Structure 1
Amino acid sequence: MAFVLLTNLLGCAAPARAVDSSELTFDGQNYRVVHLDLKREKLSLHWRDPQTSQPFGSINALRQWGEAHGQKLLFAANAGIYDKQSVPLGLYVENGKTVVPLNLNHGNPASGNFSLLPNGVFVVYPDGHAAVRTSSDFKADGQHAQWASQSGPMLVIDGKLNDQFIDASDSMKWRSGVCVKTSSEVVFAVSETPVNFHTFGRLFRDELGCQDALYLDGSISQIYVDGNGYAGAPAFMVKPYAGIFAVFVAQ
């Protein structure tokens, strides 16, 4: 029963192979960058075990769950920002079901970087194409999502850096983000060392060539790639996640 459920979630599995992952140096800082082709790799989003309703909390727990159901984890990254109750602060859509609605409330200091405007949504639609949209534009589009996570702030908007970013800012953290270069090409990146928002935004705009990019989270962010292990924040900084992006294939 569990195997059938996972198969339905992820669709027809492709033969196991490595995702396109590389180390990149930009402006003196090191990053792990992962390119996904959604025509070949089935990206999904996971928060709770569908059988027990218990949060996965960690990439390793999700990986073990997949193995128990005959699925190999090729890629994983923590999703958007969440509150003290480990509930996503903004929109969270898992396999077509809206678990947490779009959040357009702004200015709450408790929301941290989520309240830096504009924030945005990374979304994969039922037809398989993906996008990064500001939260207000996503609402105006009115399209149904298959997978979606709201976070913030937007790093790049229509080819321009978020104008709230300061070049000389001393707010240095491990940071993760995502962009969509074409309707099926998704790029995730995590810094290997602490960086500020301005530098991280320029990575997506100037090095990765992204027109729109979204910040996912900082300090606790990691990317997992099968065969390469973990990149991003050191293990002692990592706390339980609420929402994990993943690519599984049949073992």
Structure 2
Amino acid sequence: MLPGIGAAAECAQMQHETAGYVVCEVDVTRERLRLFLYDETERPYGFFGTLEAALEKDGLQLGFAMNAGMYHEDRSPVGHYIEDGEQRRGVISNAGPGNFGLLPNGVFCLREDRADVIETLRYLREKPDCRDATQSGPMLVIDGELHPKFLEDSESRYVRNGVGTSADSSRAFFVISDAPVTFHQFGSFFRDRLKLRNALYFDGNVSRLRAPDLGRNDLGFSSLGPIIGVVVPAQ
């Protein structure tokens, strides 16, 4: 466990070099971590508050949550997406424009009592039976190495968010930067500060976080695509 972070879905402020980050650690052997996109009428939830209201009808409550992958204007996922066993979009394996197509990219896969960040071509070879999965890109850390195209002197800076997983797949670490950072800075935080061997970029500029224990619930002006969150019984 990281200093200041507990065994369940708890969030803490951390510092690395000159930048600050919020890290939310989820023990997937104890917490119910799920992906969400469409409601029962096939409309995107779009906002944490909308999702929370829908869960309350089922006697559930939303804890930690974060946007979880890139999406088109209609909020449909750019890449592979599985929710509660139902595949909504297949894997995109070819290079393309934008951050998503900056290969290698990867898939965040949730299975029973485990969470993994898996590089896309490896994912296609191994065909894991994911209950929930979201594809995004680029990979931030691949087997302990930063993405080969990250530049230390890059001038591209955004508030960024992403996820990394522990070596035993029992914990997922969701991170959002406090201020605009480069890909190199962001990936280095996962590799050097959190000591994670695999991490995946979710998005930048539209990055949002819900962290009740920090009193944080980012609203934003536009709706989101895929959302990942911890679900608990309503109190």
Per the normalisation by structure 1, the TM-score is 0.86
Taking the aligned partners of 1:117 and 1:103, their CA distance within structure 2 comes to: 11
**What is the alpha-carbon root mean square deviation over aligned residues?**
1.6
CA deviations 1:129-187 (Å, max 9, x no partner) are: 21111111000001221010000000001101111000011101010010111311110
Per the normalisation by structure 2, the TM-score is 0.92
Number of equivalent positions? 227
Please state how far the C-alpha of 1:27 moved relative to its aligned partner.
Answer: 1.4
Please state how far the C-alpha of 1:222 moved relative to its aligned partner.
Answer: 1.2
Taking the aligned partners of 1:193 and 1:41, their CA distance within structure 2 comes to: 29
Q: Provide structure 1 residue ranges, at least 5 long, that are not aligned to the other structure.
A: 1-16
Match of 2:176 among 181, 186, 190: 190
Please state how far the C-alpha of 1:84 moved relative to its aligned partner.
Answer: 2.5
Taking the aligned partners of 1:167 and 1:222, their CA distance within structure 2 comes to: 25
Q: Which residue of 2 aligns with 1:150?
A: 135
More helix by share: 1
Taking the aligned partners of 1:105 and 1:57, their CA distance within structure 2 comes to: 28
Match of 2:113 among 113, 125, 128: 128
2:157 maps to a residue whose letter is M
Q: Which residue of 2 aligns with 1:52?
A: 41
Q: Which residue of 2 aligns with 1:25?
A: 15
* 3-state DSSP of counterpart to 2:64: strand
Kindly indicate whether the alpha-carbon contact (under 8 Å) linking 2:8 and 2:25 is maintained by their aligned counterparts in 1: no
What are the within-5 Å matches in structure 2 for residues 1-251 of structure 1? 19-49=9-39, 51-107=40-96, 109=97, 112-125=98-111, 127-181=112-166, 182-230=168-216, 235-236=219-220, 238-251=221-234
After alignment, is 192-201 or 176-185 more displaced?
Answer: 176-185
After alignment, is 209-218 or 77-86 more displaced?
Answer: 77-86
Taking the aligned partners of 1:218 and 1:239, their CA distance within structure 2 comes to: 14
The percent identity for this pair of structures is 37
Taking the aligned partners of 2:157 and 2:99, their CA distance within structure 1 comes to: 13
Q: Which residue of 1 aligns with 2:3?
A: none
Please state how far the C-alpha of 1:47 moved relative to its aligned partner.
Answer: 0.2
Kindly indicate whether the alpha-carbon contact (under 8 Å) linking 2:115 and 2:165 is maintained by their aligned counterparts in 1: yes
Taking the aligned partners of 2:49 and 2:204, their CA distance within structure 1 comes to: 19
Taking the aligned partners of 1:228 and 1:66, their CA distance within structure 2 comes to: 21
Taking the aligned partners of 1:20 and 1:151, their CA distance within structure 2 comes to: 24
2:183 maps to a residue whose letter is F
Please state how far the C-alpha of 1:25 moved relative to its aligned partner.
Answer: 1.2
Q: Provide structure 2 residue ranges, at least 5 long, that are not aligned to the other structure.
A: 1-6
